[in-house]
Amino acid sequence: MADEATAAELLAAARDGNDLAFGRLVGPLRDELRAHCYRMLGSVHDAEDVVQDTLDRAWRSLARFEDRGSIRPWLYKIATNRALTLIESRGRRELPADLDPAGGEVAWLEPYPDSLMAWTAGLGPEARAVARESVELAFVAALQHLSAVQRAVLLLRDVLGYAAREVADLLDTTVAAVNSALQRARKNLAELLPPTTQRQALGELGEAGSRELARRYAAAWEAGDVDAIVAMLAEDAKYSMPPLAAWFEGREGIRGFLLGGPLKGRWRMLPARANGQLAFGTYLWDEQRAAYLPAGLDLLVVRGGQVAEVVSFLEADFADFGLPEEVR
């Protein structure tokens, strides 16, 4: 971020109509705003749309901005309120294993490329850990089950570190309302979240252990070895493939599914990173193209050294995760 003097100069120039100065002023904040909107909305594409809308609105309204030392809270105010409006019109996003059968039309949670978290490198160790844990799939999925206001308050207070008075100003409400929403949000989230984050789980394995787990998982799939795959699963493991609503649970349930379909084909697995978790671009052999073609982005949830859940995003854009269009 530009230093205070430079930021003041850029703001003054932007108010005079210099769009390049405005771009320099808000550019360093774009990635963190996208991460915030992704947490709120569960969609990278919706988050990007909200960020673009936020910056457009900020540019058009710059003359009304009250300069209190930083443009950052103002941008978060606009972005959060735009996200709240979108939630009202579109509802929450789901994973198949969390789906309410009576929920009507479904919008699916989307994976988040780790490459979009590069901005956290400038944070301190504790803030960086909080920022990265807050895009883990389980955390974002749990957030979707909070009310929109609870979601916003919890993120602004516990992830971004704003004080209750600041959050009240950002959401145009009272401190008492913020504290009440935060208390309910924390209680609800504690009931929804697993006890261990993916950062902690992978940290317990260590870097070498994580690499070995990834190697074994990929090798088992490429060998079509269902016994090896199932041996890596937790007893209550889950396997889902959004946008398909069906999902499978337990070692035997997953074994039956794999033998009945996926393992009839030939696979290649390329390592990737999404939501701070182990992930693979999965490629299925296509005889006509004589190549392995994208089939899904698999995110692995690890607990106690075992694979507790696999979420295979069948419609993920491989390019967003630095993965090739085919493997030969």
Of the chain, the end-to-end C-alpha distance in Å amounts to 43
Q: Which one, of 322, 240, 224, lies nearest residue 281 by Cα? A: 322
Domain with CATH 3.10.450.50 in the chain: 198-321
CB 44 within 8 A of CB 36: no
Inform me whether the pLDDT recorded for 277 exceeds 60. Answer: yes
Strand partners, 174: none
Q: Which residue type, as a one-letter code, is found at position 256?
A: G
Instruction: State yes or no: pLDDT of 5 exceeds 70.
Output: no
Task: Look at residue 24 in the predicted model and tell me its pLDDT.
Answer: 94
Confidence (pTM) = 0.93
pLDDT one-digit tens code per residue, 27-66: 999 999 999 999 999 999 999 999 999 999 999 999 888 7
The DSSP secondary structure of 95-109, one letter per residue, reads -GGG--TTS-S-EE-
- Torsion-angle region of 158 (φ positive above 0: left; ψ -120 to 50: alpha; else: beta): alpha
pLDDT band per the 50, 70, 90 thresholds, residue 103 = low
Note if the bond before 73 is cis, omega within 30 degrees.
no
3-class secondary-structure state, position 235: strand
> How confident is the model over 110-144, as pLDDT tens digits?
999 999 999 999 999 999 999 999 999 999 999 99
64's tokens:
């009304």
What tokens does 186 get? Answer: 């924390």
Helix 4-15 × helix 19-26 angle, to 10°: 140
Q: Give the dihedral of Cα atoms 184, 186, 191, 192; nearest 10 deg.
A: 110
Q: What is the pLDDT of residues 191-223, one digit of tens each?
A: 999 888 888 888 888 889 999 999 999 999 999
From the CB of residue 211, how many other CB atoms can be counted at a distance below 10 Å? 13
CATH code reported for the domain at 4-192: 1.20.140.160
Report the alpha-carbon distance of residue 121 to residue 241 in Å, rounded: 32
Give backbone dihedrals phi and psi of 146, rounded to 5 degrees, phi first.
-90, 160
| Rounded Cα distance, 219 and 226, in Å | 11
Per CATH, domain 198-321 is 1.10.3210.10? no
How much is the pLDDT for 124?
Answer: 93
* Average pLDDT of the residues of the chain: 93
Q: Where in the chain is the domain with CATH 1.20.140.160?
A: 4-192
